[in-house]
């Protein structure tokens, strides 16, 4: 199983999922180019390029195919991977996914870019500007110590350079896999948080309508990151899908 991180994150972002999934699958969480311990080349980044990188990684380490998992940017990359390299994908887990960036999503991400530049820190931008889009106000109120622990975790990870964050976030803005969705034929689970505004259920119909046989699951009382908001429920319901397609 290969887990593809979301924007401004590295491989450790799925720690709460890998702890459970690894009981059933060999899990490899990667660093996309420009993040974590991966190289940080100059040039234009795209979600298609990230998918090419993942396919190249799989060839390099001798993984013929795998279950592919991603949230947000990770899901965007996963769709490109399944469309371009269908033989490499056993199943596809798309969480908080979207086919093509719309004006609302573009505006939100451009705001994150402005904040990152102003703070000169990707980590502080994540905590101050991305967290509120990913976690509900109720979670902030009920579990402030948990929010603080997530912030501490972000600050503890290898710092992403501002330049590569801008390249990576530009890939989010430019993302458009809509014309390729019909090429995805593997078992696919699509999930959203009911209260997500960034990649809300407004994107669901296009994905479920184009990816044949896909399954839609909504996490109630969650925003963009059910992986942190409802860890137990998220893991149980996504693992059930994975185990059905483990053969």
- Average the pLDDT over 220-238 and give the result: 98
List, for residues 41-69, the tens digit of each pLDDT value: 999 999 999 999 999 999 999 999 999 99
Distance between CA atoms of residues 158 and 9, nearest Å: 9
Distance between CA atoms of residues 242 and 238, nearest Å: 6
Q: Which residues contact 72 (CB under 8 A, 6 or more apart)?
A: 6, 7, 95, 96, 97, 198, 199, 224
Average pLDDT, the chain: 98
User: Where do the domains of the chain lie?
Assistant: 2-244
| 195 pLDDT tier (thresholds 50, 70, 90) | very high
Q: Which residues contact 17 (CB under 8 A, 6 or more apart)?
A: 3, 69, 227, 234, 235, 238
Tell me: pLDDT of 247 over 80. Answer: no
Topology adopted by domain 2-244: Rossmann fold (3.40.50)
Across 163-212, the runs of DSSP E, i.e. the strands, are 188-193
Enumerate the β-bridge partners of residue 3.
Answer: 29, 69
Query: What does DSSP assign to residue 180?
Result: G
Amino acid 227: pLDDT: 98
Amino acid 206: pLDDT: 98
First CA to last CA distance, the chain: 13
| 115 pLDDT tier (thresholds 50, 70, 90) | very high
Distance between CA atoms of residues 99 and 217, nearest Å: 17
Amino acid 32: pLDDT: 98
List, for residues 131-174, the tens digit of each pLDDT value: 999 999 999 999 999 999 999 999 999 999 999 999 999 999 99
> Within 13 Å, how many C-alpha atoms sit on residue 23's CB side?
9
Amino acid 155: pLDDT: 98
Structure token digits, residue 100: 């093509």
């Amino acid at each position: 199983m290969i887990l593809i991180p979301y924007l401004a994150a590295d491989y450790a972002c799925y720690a709460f999922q890998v702890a459970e999934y690894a009981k059933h699958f060999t899990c490899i969480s990667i660093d996309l180019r420009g993040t974590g311990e991966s190289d940080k080349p100059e040039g234009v980044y795209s979600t298609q390029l990230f998918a090419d990188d993942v396919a190249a990684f799989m060839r390099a380490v001798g993984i013929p195919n795998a279950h592919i998992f991603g949230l947000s940017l990770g899901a965007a990359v996963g769709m490109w991977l399944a469309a371009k390299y269908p033989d490499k994908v056993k199943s596809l887990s798309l969480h908080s996914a979207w086919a093509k960036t719309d004006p609302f999503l573009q505006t939100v991400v451009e705001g994150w870019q402005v904040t990152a530049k102003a703070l000169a820190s990707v980590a502080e931008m994540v905590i101050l500007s991305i967290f509120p889009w990913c976690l509900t106000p109720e979670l902030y109120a009920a579990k402030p110590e948990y929010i603080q622990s997530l912030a501490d975790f972000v600050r503890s990870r290898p710092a992403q350079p501002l330049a590569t964050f801008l390249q990576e976030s530009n890939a989010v803005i430019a993302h458009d896999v809509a014309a390729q969705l019909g090429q995805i034929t593997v078992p696919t689970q699509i999930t959203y948080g009911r209260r997500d505004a960034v990649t809300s259920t407004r994107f669901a119909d296009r994905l479920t309508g184009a990816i044949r046989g896909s399954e839609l699951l909504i996490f109630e009382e969650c925003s963009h990151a059910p992986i942190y908001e409802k860890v137990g429920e998220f893991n149980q319901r996504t693992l059930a899908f994975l185990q059905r397609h483990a053969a």
